């Protein structure tokens, strides 16, 4: 993409109403624009990252055997009356009346609708297990939206729903999502720690929040430090195999949010491994048995011929919120430092003197070759001063920056900067392009 043709409205000043660094940087880097309280437009740069994050979430869901569908944003209130949640949900639900005076709502989540879909088509144990997910915009009318996309009103969520014959089978579905989530967050450069969460009146031990540790986290968390050091299971896992040992390995170690914290249990963690930090919730998985299938009559015939309510779980990832979490975890005073898998562009080309024949030719050449190598370069071909170009490239977090100007070219050199480390290399234009194409500087 040529910057002259892109739409990248970067801001020089830090907006005064943004309190946390991810919100500030997303506004300054021209990633989002607030349209109403807690409601954002995703400008081209922000949308590119959002789509990469969404695609990682999708790929890991598919790998775990979940099947994607897409439910609408607008739902009928009657569906929520069936489960009893319409009256319980409170003011966070955006309630709507259509032209025929029917009660509708903008979906804050989809347990009711997916249960309705399931019961319409699936009646037998032979139809099980089922793992269905969608990635759709949700709306929760937060009383005080803040922190940019971290607590917005309109937000993108991936929500998966599992349908199983009984609790034992449901645990297998639960484990698939548990492992898939660890891989998902790891691919985005996030260390997400699974922490025991409140299961409410249903009880049991099958609810976990996935928490990214960050100084600006919304809540205090407590965990065994080994959990932070432990790598993700890896994407070569057999999701049809027994995942329990992988799950046990992690749930055996102490980890709890403020809400669930038990200081006396935490005290038994060796002192040098006791970690108290702040965290951002990026995922939540939950087994809730027949909470919805009972009232909504989602029954399946068991092998014994009897009908029983299907056992369900739900598994959410805050897709748009993840961008905030990634920036909180990866930035410096100059701007974003995107992990490569989610970087909006693979490399920047900075033409220090657009209009100079030699510089233009060298940039065009690099642009063609890096595009062909699949690196999706952003070519700054504007007439902006070099200082401004450097600042923008760092602000928006281009992982590699190829700096090309007449002075260097006279000596046959261009400069290649690695955003993460700040290191620079003086190379011939050919070397620089070839080594970028070979991913010679990649840290993964």
Q: Does 111 bind its own copies (CB under 8 A)?
A: no
Which is nearest to 313 in space by CA: 92, 429, 160? 160
Pattern 56-85, binding to its own copies, x per CB under 8 A?
Answer: ---------x-xxxxxxxxxx--x------
Residue among 153 and 224 whose Cβ is closer to its own copies = 153
Q: What is the DSSP letter of 294?
A: T
Distance in Å, CB of 99 to its own copies, minimum: 5
Distance in Å, CB of 22 to its own copies, minimum: 18
Distance in Å, CB of 420 to its own copies, minimum: 27
Kindly state the number of chain residues that form the binding site for its own copies, as judged by CB under 8 A. Answer: 51
Q: Does 130 bind its own copies (CB under 8 A)?
A: yes
CA–CA gap between residue 155 and residue 138 (Å, rounded): 5
Cα end-to-end distance, the chain, whole Å: 25
| Span of 119-127, 225-233, 351-359, 426-434 interacting with its own copies by CB under 8 A | 119-127
Q: Does 120 bind its own copies (CB under 8 A)?
A: yes
Residue among 2 and 274 whose Cβ is closer to its own copies = 2
Q: Does 270 bind its own copies (CB under 8 A)?
A: no
Distance in Å, CB of 226 to its own copies, minimum: 35
Q: Does 94 bind its own copies (CB under 8 A)?
A: yes
Q: Does 388 bind its own copies (CB under 8 A)?
A: no
Helix, coil or strand: residue 258: helix
H/E segment holding residue 84: none
Q: Does 14 bind its own copies (CB under 8 A)?
A: no
Compute how many other C-beta atoms are within 10 angstroms of the C-beta atom of residue 17: 11
Applying CB under 8 A, which of residues 59, 84, 89, 104 lies at the interface with its own copies? 104
Q: Does 40 bind its own copies (CB under 8 A)?
A: yes
The Cα-based distances of 99 to 87, 96, 103, 104, 224 in angstroms read 22, 10, 10, 11, 55
Residue with the two structure tokens 């070519």 = 379
B/e letters for 212-241, b = 16+ CB within 10 Å, e = fewer, are bbbebbbeebbbbbbbbeeebbeeebeeee
Site for its own copies in 139-198 (CB under 8 A): 139, 141, 143, 153-154
Distance in Å, CB of 148 to its own copies, minimum: 13
Residue among 236 and 272 whose Cβ is closer to its own copies = 236
60-65's contacts with Cβ under 8 Å and 24+ in sequence apart are 60/180, 60/181, 60/183, 60/184, 60/187, 60/235, 61/133, 61/158, 61/160, 61/180, 63/180, 63/183, 63/235, 63/239, 64/131, 64/176, 64/177, 64/179, 64/180, 64/239, 65/131, 65/176, 65/239, 65/240
CA–CA gap between residue 244 and residue 176 (Å, rounded): 9
Q: Does 236 bind its own copies (CB under 8 A)?
A: no
Q: Does 9 bind its own copies (CB under 8 A)?
A: yes
Which positions lie near its own copies, rule CB under 8 A?
5-7, 9, 30, 33, 35-36, 39-44, 47, 50, 65, 67-76, 79, 91-92, 94, 96, 98-99, 102, 104, 106, 113, 116-117, 120-122, 130, 132, 137, 139, 141, 143, 153-154
């Amino acid at each position: 993409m040529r910057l002259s043709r892109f739409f990248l409205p970067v801001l020089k000043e830090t907006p005064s109403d943004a309190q946390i660094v991810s919100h500030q940087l997303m506004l300054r880097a021209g990633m989002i624009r607030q349209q109403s309280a807690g409601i954002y437009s995703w400008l081209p740069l922000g949308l590119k990252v959002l789509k990469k994050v969404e695609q990682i979430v999708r790929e890991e869901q598919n790998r775990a055997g979940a099947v994607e569908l897409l439910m609408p944003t607008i739902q009928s209130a009657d569906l929520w009356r069936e489960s009893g949640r319409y009256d319980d949900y409170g003011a966070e639900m955006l309630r709507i009346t259509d032209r025929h005076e029917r009660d509708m709502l903008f979906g804050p989540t989809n347990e009711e609708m997916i249960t309705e879909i399931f019961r319409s088509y699936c009646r037998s144990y032979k139809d099980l297990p089922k793992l269905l997910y969608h990635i759709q915009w949700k709306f929760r009318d937060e009383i005080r939206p803040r922190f940019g996309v971290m607590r917005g009103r309109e937000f993108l969520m991936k929500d998966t729903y599992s349908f199983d014959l009984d609790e034992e089978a449901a645990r297998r579905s639960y484990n698939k999502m548990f492992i898939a989530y660890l891989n998902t967050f790891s691919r985005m450069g996030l260390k997400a720690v699974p922490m025991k969460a409140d299961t409410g009146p249903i009880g049991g031990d099958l609810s976990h929040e996935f928490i990214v540790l960050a100084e600006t986290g919304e809540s205090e968390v407590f965990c065994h430090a080994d959990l932070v050091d432990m790598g993700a299971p890896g994407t070569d896992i057999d999701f049809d195999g027994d995942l329990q040992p992988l799950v046990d390995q992690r749930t055996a170690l102490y980890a709890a949010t403020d809400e669930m914290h038990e200081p006396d249990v935490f005290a038994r963690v060796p002192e040098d491994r006791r970690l108290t930090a702040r965290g951002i919730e990026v995922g939540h998985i939950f087994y809730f048995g027949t909470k919805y299938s009972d009232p909504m009559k989602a029954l399946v015939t068991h092998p014994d011929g009897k009908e029983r309510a299907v056992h369900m779980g739900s598994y959410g990832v805050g897709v748009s919120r993840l961008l905030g979490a990634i920036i909180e975890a990866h930035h410096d005073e100059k701007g974003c430092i995107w992990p490569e898998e989610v970087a909006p562009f693979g490399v920047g080309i900075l033409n220090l003197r657009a209009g100079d024949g030699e510089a233009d030719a060298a940039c065009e050449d690099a642009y063609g070759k890096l595009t062909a190598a699949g690196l999706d370069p952003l070519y700054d071909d504007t007439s902006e001063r070099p200082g401004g170009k450097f600042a923008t490239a760092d602000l928006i977090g281009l992982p590699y920056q190829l700096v090309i100007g007449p002075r260097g070219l006279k000596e046959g050199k261009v400069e290649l900067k690695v955003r993460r480390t700040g290191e620079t290399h003086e190379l011939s234009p050919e070397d620089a392009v070839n080594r970028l194409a070979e991913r010679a500087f990649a840290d993964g």
